[in-house]
Amino acid sequence: SRGQKGFAMQESSLQTRGRDFYGSLPLGTRGVFVTCVALYVTGVLLGFDDFAQICMAPSWVLRDGQVYRMFTSVLFHGSVLHLAFNMMAFVPMASSLERLLGTVQFTYILVLFTLLASIFHVGLALIGGTLGYASMHECAIGFSGVIFGVIVVDTHLSSVAQRSIFGFFTVPSQWYPLSLLIFLQVLMPSVSFVGHLSGLLAGLTYVRGHLNPLLLRPSTTAWIEQHAWAAAAVRHGAFIAGGAAADAVPGAGRPDSLPTHLFAPLRGGDGDGTRRWWQVPTFARRPPPVEGTFATMDAPPSGGGGGGGAGGTGAGAGPKPNYSRPGSTPAASAAAGAG
């Protein structure tokens, strides 16, 4: 019947769009996306909701030395909405940044952000504990802390003067990450304020240049890409080789330095430069990699406007659930705090 044919065509169209979306993701961004989705689906199928075993719990990190929580906590999500919000915010910004820096440097920076945000989390929790707050006993999960770090980088490189907070109001771009942090906390008080603030501080530490000594040098990146154990990844069609140097220069992300374009040419995934339906305003259209830092590369002759990354369209990081204290039942808190 006509209705069945229409349904079949719609289903085919969705499958095609899904393949296009997945195929366009650079390897590092794809790895994060697949890992987070796979862990969530596996948890649902196995009935796992004991997030107290893997969450970011500052008291257990300090008291029991459970450092693994710094990494496991960012990969798990409390609900499908929590996962969806985080991935919708992360994928556009991360894809553009990875195409600029290359897969090796991009992945390394994500690891740095994860580690640094966790250190800030523990430090802020200690300060909160001395002030009488229960921050040492929270149990937070989700990738949104790292996403706040990426939002800071995206904002630093954006050309727009103002950004929208979910369409409710606009703020000056330099205040966008902090405004988004406060707005999410007011909208959903149960999310982890400390977790989001820690990611924001990690991003600020990076764009201020304080992480430059820890970044990979171009020679180190080239050595990794040429090593035998990396051969399989390098041969993958979604791998982005080389890239611009990642050193950040404070103050370089001024509005006239990197005009933002919609639908930047793809350098990963299918790599054919075709406009894709899901792409949103993000980093600048860039010339081939040149010497210098990614924040000071010469802009192309053609100017451009538009928002920067997911934040430019009002899509901020999804909230990070705050399960009030380790050992409590997280499932109920996830329903309230993992929007």
Output the six-digit token pair for 104.
Answer: 């090796």
Question: Please, which pLDDT band fits residue 164 given cuts at 50, 70 and 90?
Answer: confident
User: What's the number of CA atoms in the CB half-sphere (13 Å) around residue 76?
Assistant: 26
What does the alpha-carbon distance between residue 16 and residue 14 come to, in Å, rounded to a whole number?
A: 5
Indicate the helix (H) or strand (E) that contains 164.
strand 162-165
Neighbouring C-alpha atoms within 13 Å toward the C-beta of 53: 4
Per DSSP, 162 falls in state: E
What is the predicted pLDDT for the residue at 259? Answer: 28
- Please state, for a pLDDT cut of 70, what percent of the chain lies above it: 70
Q: Does the pLDDT value for residue 21 go beyond 50?
A: yes
- Model pLDDT for residues 90-133, shown as the tens digit of each residue: 999 999 999 988 999 999 999 999 999 999 999 999 999 999 88
To which H or E segment does residue 269 belong? none
Helix 176-187 to helix 144-157 angle (10° resolution) is 150
The pLDDT value recorded for residue 274 is 40
Which residues contact residue 118 at a Cβ distance below 8 angstroms, ignoring those fewer than 6 apart?
A: 56, 61, 69, 70, 71, 73, 145, 198
pLDDT band of residue 22 (cuts 50, 70, 90) is: confident
Beta-bridge partners for 293: 245
- Say what the pLDDT of residue 104 is: 93
Question: Known catalytic residues?
Answer: 144, 196
d(CA 23, CA 34): 12
Give me the pLDDT at residue 330, please: 38
* Token reading at 119: 């250190």
pLDDT for 317 equals 61
pLDDT per residue as tens digits for the range 270-301: 444 443 333 333 333 333 434 444 443 333 33
Distance of alpha carbon 127 from alpha carbon 121, whole angstroms: 10
Confidence of residue 307 (pLDDT cuts 50, 70, 90): very low
Is the pTM higher than 0.85?
Answer: no
pLDDT at 246: 79
Q: What is the Cα–Cα distance from 62 to 74, expressed in whole angstroms?
A: 18
The contacts of residue 209 (CB under 8 Å, 6+ apart) are 247, 248, 249, 250
Residue environment code for 10-30, b if the CB has 16+ CB neighbours within 10 A, otherwise e:
eeeeeeeeeeebebbbbbbbb
Residue type, 136: M
Q: Which residues contact 308 (CB under 8 A, 6 or more apart)?
A: 154, 155, 157, 158, 159, 160, 163, 173, 260, 281, 282, 283
